[in-house]
Structure 1
Amino acid sequence: MRSTALLIFLVVSVRRATSLTIPAPVKRSTSSDVAELSKTTIVLFSETQKFVESMKDNADSLLTTYLSFQGAPLSDPEYHLPEVKIDNLPTATMDNATFLNQTDEIRLKNNLYFYSAIVQFLQVAMTEQEDLNPAEESLKAKFQEAMANSNTLISKISAIMTQMGMSVTVTFPDPLVVPYEGSAIFKQKLRGGVICKEYKERVLLTKRDFEFFAKKYHEQLIQQQEQEE
């Protein structure tokens, strides 16, 4: 039973391989950047990968639900959010070379930073919607689920980093979320949409990160399974 659980990390990776941009065939890692993972760390990676998979539906529906309640043009089916810069909002945008060349610590810490920050941005967007759309409890529930998922993921990533001897300290600008100023309601609604979009896109990137880890540590996963038999 335990050996099956340890292989979840690998099995999910194989099934989802088509979503990765890593060129095939994947070169087997033998360089010094491949850490020796403990059994506990392998289980943590497996659990976290499964949890990130479960976050995707909420991330998709949060953005869709948010836009549907904002009125035209934001609620129009063909509307696409413009590229809008929000002070201190972390972005999921990353080119493929950067994605592939990150160390384990940078990859994990980027995720830790993003979700630690996005919780605060989501809270602000939800509070604004309580004023703009006070009757829409379904939207509030989506925000609450996204924040709860982010906090759970923060805990899981922190546990992995601690197991691997990495620092889990993150430092934010002060203030992190710059208060919205002005009376243009459309711009306020647009700002919330961009926050939801960044959250959705980061969940997809985090999914790729843990698929990458599954490929990178393939051999250790197999060895752990063999030891359990």
Structure 2
Amino acid sequence: MKQRSTDLLSTYLRYQGSPFSDPGFSILTLEYENVPMAAITYQEWRALTNVQRLEKNYEAYATFSEFFQVVRDDQLDINPNEKELLDMLTKTQLHIQGLLNNLTSIMSALGAPPPTAKDLLTLDITKAGFFEKKIRGYVVCQRYTEWLVRTEQDLTFLHSNFPNLRFVDK
């Protein structure tokens, strides 16, 4: 999934035009309201219980699922004929759903219910102009890539505590 997310980010940037498609474009500090950030301190991460760790992942990917629908809708407006990008966004949503299902199964195996997903997006999100839509898509793709790295760390840590759990990467 990490490689697919990196490919998605590259493809996304390529179709947005300058400055996004310029060689070396990157603004790692850029944020967008309600897009989950993976970065936490080591002490915070280490203090999380197994269930809290899974809940954080679940909440992040439930939010990404919504945001990727918005990004896809944005790209239908901005780049309606770019099938490669639109297909990648659709497949990413499907991969996120698979990951959410896997997280739900793991939480169930640990005796914990999945958290209730929070609906953070309002209809106001559709009022963005083209440039804001491009920025939003970039931030969503970038943060998603970062979350996949954190999820891998979280699942590796969880696996060390529960070696009989098996994880599926679809």
Per the TM superposition, whether the score is higher than 0.5 is yes
Residues 1:76 and 2:42 aligned together: no
What residue number does 1:47 align with? Answer: none
Alignment partners' CA distance in 1, 2:88 and 2:127: 25
Cα distance in 2 for residues equivalent to 1:217 and 1:175 = 35
Q: How does 1:146-165 map to 2 (within 5 A)?
A: 146-165=92-111
Structural mapping, 1:74-153, within 5 Å: 74-81=20-27, 83-153=29-99
Matched, 1:215 2:163: no
Q: Which residue of 2 aligns with 1:197?
A: 142
1:136-155 Cα shifts (integer Å, max 9, x gaps): 11101111111111100111
The one-letter code matched in structure 2 to 1:105 is V
Conservation of the 8 A alpha-carbon contact between 2:54 and 2:107: yes
- Alpha carbons of structure 1 residues 160 and 176: separation in structure 2 relative to 1, 3 Å: farther
Name which one, 1 or 2, has greater alpha-carbon Rg: 1
User: Separation in 2 of the partners of 1:67 and 1:85?
Assistant: 16
Residue identity opposite 2:149 in structure 1: L
Q: Structure 2-normalised TM-score?
A: 0.88
- CA–CA separation in structure 2 for the residues paired with 1:110 and 1:187: 27
The equivalent of 2:10 in structure 1 is: 64
Contact conserved, 2:38 with 2:150, CA < 8 A, in 1? yes
- The question of whether the paired residues in 2 share the 8 Å contact of 1:121 and 1:177 is answered with no
TM-score by length of 1: 0.66
CA contact (8 A) 1:89 1:117 kept: yes
Q: Aligned partners of 2:128, 2:154: CA distance in 1, in Å? A: 38
User: CA shift at 1:212, angstroms?
Assistant: 1.1
Q: How big is each residue's C-alpha offset from its partner over 1:70-127, in whole Å with a ceiling of 9 and x where there is no partner?
A: 1111111111125333222221112222222210010000111111110110010011
The Cα shift of 1:178 comes to: 4.7
What amino acid maps onto 1:207 in structure 2?
E
Measure, in 2, the Cα distance between the counterparts of 1:181 and 1:149: 27
Q: Unmatched 5+ residue regions in structure 1? A: 1-54, 222-229
The alignment covers a number of residue pairs equal to 164
Cα offset, 1:181, TM superposition: 3.0
2:167 matched residue in structure 1: none
2:16 is paired with a residue of what secondary structure? coil
Q: Calculate percent identity across the aligned residue pairs.
A: 27
Note if contact 1:120-1:177 (Cα within 8 Å) is conserved in structure 2: no
Q: Distance in 1 between matches of 2:49 and 2:160?
A: 14
Q: Is the 8 A contact 1:158 1:168 kept in 2?
A: yes
Partner amino acid, structure 2, of 1:211:
T
Cα deviation digits, residues 188-218 of structure 1 (max 9, x gap): 2111100111111101110111111222335
Residue of structure 2 equivalent to 1:21: none
